[in-house]
Amino acid sequence: MIRELKTFVAVCELDSFAAAARHINLTQSAVSAQIKTLEDNLGLSLFTRSARAITLNPQGTAYYRSPKRFWRFIQQCSCPQIPILPAITGSLGLARSIPCKWVSCQRH
């Protein structure tokens, strides 16, 4: 369902299955299939389709708000605005007295 939501948001923002496909590195048929899966799962039609264009219908417009907030949240979680701590460098030594049952040991 997460892939379908990402695809739905891309289609909404780019107003095109083809443009969304290029943006998220999928084929146009994969985008179409994911939107169909989403619509089937929701039991809703989200777009009005014509021969060469798609537009969000009222149900799609109302639904769009939730996936958009979801993707904004995911982006904030994956790119936190917290300072990076300096790396800790040094060396670490292990004594031979550590039992082999705790550390994978190989005998030479």
Question: Could you report the per-residue pLDDT of 99-108, keeping only the tens digit for each?
Answer: 554 444 455 4
Question: Could you report the per-residue pLDDT of 37-96, keeping only the tens digit for each?
Answer: 999 999 999 999 888 888 999 999 999 988 888 877 777 777 666 555 555 666 656 555
Q: Cα separation of 18 and 32, whole Å? A: 9
Domain boundaries, the chain: 2-71
Q: Which fold has domain 2-71?
A: Arc Repressor Mutant, subunit A (1.10.10)
Q: Cα separation of 96 and 14, whole Å? A: 60
Is the entire prediction scored with pTM above 0.75? no
**Residue 34 and residue 4 in contact, taking contact as beta carbons nearer than 8 Å:** yes
Q: Cα separation of 11 and 33, whole Å? A: 12
